[in-house]
Chain A
Amino acid sequence: MSEGSLLSISGLTVSFAGRAGGRLTAVRGVTVEVAPGEVLGLVGESGCGKSATMMAVMNLLPDSASIGGSVRFRGEELVGRSEKFLRGIRGKRIGMIFQDPMTTLNPLLTVGEQIAEGIRIHDRTVTSRQAMERAVGLLETVSIPSPRQRAAQYPHEFSGGMRQRVVIAMAIANDPELLIADEPTTALDVTIQAQIMELLQRLCAERRMGLVLVTHDLGVVAGAAHNMAVMYAGRIVDYGPVDAILTRSRHPYTRALLGSQPRVDRRVEQLDAIAGAPPSLAAIPAGCAFHPRCGMAVDRCRTEQPADRDFGVERVACHRAEQVEKHFRVREGVS
């Protein structure tokens, strides 16, 4: 673990009790780090384990889940700690934002009351009046117009984008060092998404706050993140700076994902669809989990799980990483 690390996850595993006494493994050994002020994009398709990874960090998984490996926050281990200890971290030193702001907010409390509640839970020396003042200030920080009036309103009086601003205000209320945002803009329209991403980036830069951005949208990551980790079937298969991963990745899955997506800035005649579908947790293929869908798979990929390999700034789990560049250059040349 490097000296300046804010969050350091290593060898994290998460499994759930399945039917008939079996276990379903959602996260199979995740190792990743976040530095202060860094934005990490954690990307992958539904069921790849990206949300389970972040829920494990906060220990918010149901009792049927068992967590292995290590999660260190500012050097301190979080896995296996008491609920009392974690309560002092969650919502205080680590803030969270979820996809749907309406399910995060309490419909029966005014927006100001909810923000103030979050402040007073972690610091009883603050009076209600002081907490409410801070709530108004926070609404201003997240660029909500006329914050004093808005603080007295209920969530249903806010639009989707404004609600997500309120959720962000709650998440940063106690000056967290790390923010975990799980698909924070997926429920929003694109013009509102642009506003929210701009806000999150500004907050991270101003406060030297780390941000883990969990998303399926590679475009959001390209614009906001410094580093990105691509997950597939419970593992990080590709990890490094966004520039490297999005332009010259050495993993066939990342390449295939990029090739399969239509682009707004130019026309592509034929999209390179990826065959098949992501595997279910109950039937993760042997060897490399991506091999049944991979155009580069060889015998070794079917039997032997690839280890993490370092190529300069990029960390790749693929037996054929050296051939990826050539393979995709040839394919693009042909089409």
Chain B
Amino acid sequence: MTRPSEDARERSPLLEVRGLVKEFRVGGGLPFGGPLRTVQAVSDISFDLFRGETLGLVGESGCGKSTLARTIARLTRPTGGSIRFKGQDLAALSQAQMRPLRRSIQFVFQNPQASLHPAMRTHDIIAEPLRLLNLTRKEMDSRVARLMEQVKLAPEHASRYPHEFSGGQRQRIGIARALAVEPDLIILDEPVSALDVSIQAGILNLLKEIQKATGIAYLFISHDLSVVRHLCDRVAVMYLGKIVELAERDALYETPRHPYTKSLLSAVPLHDPELERARERIVLTGDVPSPVAPPPGCRFHTRCFRRGALCDSQEPRLVAESPTHAPGHVYACHYPLT
């Protein structure tokens, strides 16, 4: 069986992001705001996302992964660049022009407690986005019943309120709501991070099943590299607003080229104590620098264990070394790992 990403590449992408920039103004507020400065949370990001595939977006807190996702869904307006989705540039659309496209891109958030209305019953939460579609009462009810079955909620759950559910069940409601309008893309922002470990697997399995059945594409944001390896076809690693490496899942995990990817992977503790003690661990020194004043040259050079002469002056571009050997494996580093 070929992986979805392999035959996906034959087709044209569902989403083409080019040179995307999102800036925020910070400070300037009186009397304690400090000087007015600009933060580039998303800095010149380009990638493609294909139908039916899952692209993982990983990085540490503050790297811009959530801002990138929110910008793509036009929950916030980009500062520059383009977002081509189904033949239109979302970056150039007004709020009104964006409205008919909103159903095509849905969002599932980290905390299902906060993203479900506490005073609405499950049925109404899932039905709410369907009100846009002019369905009859009967059509609506059968659609909701089908969605609940799809996310493995029992029919009697329809009349219950969010507080009557466990965290995992609440996240299932959030997923059913996102699926209701039959989107082409769901952006999942840390969908299992708030859940207990014994519950996470059920949600991850469910997401896989839904994708198999519907061919939906996922943009999956997570700081958990194990979860990403399980779910994603391709993975992009972000550091301080930039993609530093993007590759097929196995290539990224087994032969990472960027030193940041390598150190990120080596920092994840393994469950097997013998392997854990035996393996080589790169412990990075220091913290992620402030995005208000990113380091010149390569943004990672202040923490990098392979820093060389070029790194503090020249910014490395995202390049593919050998298109035949590992197609689509790109990284931004002057001194990549071999």
Contacts and interface: CB of A to CB of B under 8 A. Distances in A.
B201 A223 contact: no
Contact of B276 (A189, A217, A222, A273): A222
Contacts of B274: 243, 247
Interface in B197-230: 197-202, 204-205, 223, 225-227, 229-230
B230 A262 contact: yes
Interface string B273-289: 11111000101100110
A217 B176 CA distance: 29
A190 B223 contact: yes
Q: Which of A218, A246, A273 has the most CB of B within 10 A?
A: A273
Interface stretch (A51-59, A97-105, A193-201, A296-304): A193-201
B198 A190 contact: no
Interface in B238-296: 249-250, 253, 263-277, 281, 283-284, 287-288
Interface of A: 45-46, 159, 161-162, 189-195, 197-198, 216-220, 222-223, 242-243, 246-247, 256-258, 260-265, 267-268, 270-275, 277-278, 293
Contacts of A216: 196-197
A264 B288 CA distance: 22
Nearest to A280: B166
B271 A263 contact: yes
B198 to A, nearest CB: 4
Given A189-B223, A261-B197, A194 B271 contact: no
A46 B202 CA distance: 17
12 contacts: A189-B223, A194-B267, A216-B197, A219-B268, A222-B273, A242-B273, A246-B271, A260-B198, A261-B200, A262-B230, A271-B204, A277-B167
A39 B199 CA distance: 27
Contacts of A247: 272-274
B95 interface: no
A278 to B, nearest CB: 6
| Chain B contact surface mostly | helix
A109 B325 CA distance: 57
Nearest to B62: A189
Pairs A-B, 9 closest by C-beta atoms: A219-B269, A262-B230, A271-B201, A273-B202, A273-B201, A260-B201, A189-B60, A277-B166, A194-B267
B191 interface: no
A274 B201 contact: yes
B274 to A, nearest CB: 7
Contact of B281 (A194, A242, A257, A262): A194
A102 B268 CA distance: 24
Given A192-B287, A193-B267, A194-B269, 5 more contacts: A216-B196, A260-B198, A261-B271, A274-B198, A277-B196
A222 B269 contact: yes
Interface in B10-67: 60-61
A274 B201 CA distance: 8
B197 A257 contact: yes
Given A162-B287, A222-B271, A264 B253 contact: yes
Contacts of B229: 262-264, 267
B162 interface: no
A78 to B, nearest CB: 30
B60 A264 contact: no
